[in-house]
Amino acid sequence: MKKPSLIAVIFASLVVGGCGTSVETGSIPGKAGGKSQANARSVALTAKNFEYSLSRIKIKVGEEIALKLKSDDNAHDFAVDGLGKIATVSGDSTVTRRLRVDKLGRYTFFCTLPGHRDGGMEGILVVKR
Ligand SMILES: [Cu+2]
Asked if residue 87 belongs to a domain, the reply is yes
Residue 101 has pLDDT above 90, yes or no: yes
Number of domains in the chain: 1
Structural domain boundaries enclosing 49: 6-128
CATH number at residue 44: 2.60.40.420
Q: Which of 106, 111, 112 is nearest to 125 (CA)?
A: 106
Question: What would the mean pLDDT of 106-117 be, rounded to a whole number?
Answer: 97
Asked if residue 29 belongs to a domain, the reply is yes
What's the pLDDT score for residue 4? 53
CA of 75 to the centre of ligand 1 (A): 6
Around ion ligand 1, residues with a beta carbon closer than 5 Å are 76, 111, 113, 116, 121
CA of 9 to the centre of ligand 1 (A): 12
Asked if residue 99 belongs to a domain, the reply is yes
CA of 27 to the centre of ligand 1 (A): 23
Q: What is the pLDDT of residues 69-99, one digit of tens each?
A: 999 999 999 999 999 999 999 999 999 999 9
**CB burial readout 77-99, b (16+ within 10 A) else e:** bbbbbbbbbbbbbeeeeebbbbb
Q: What is the pTM assigned to this prediction?
A: 0.84
Asked if residue 77 belongs to a domain, the reply is yes
CA of 5 to the centre of ligand 1 (A): 15
Asked if residue 90 belongs to a domain, the reply is yes
Asked if residue 79 belongs to a domain, the reply is yes
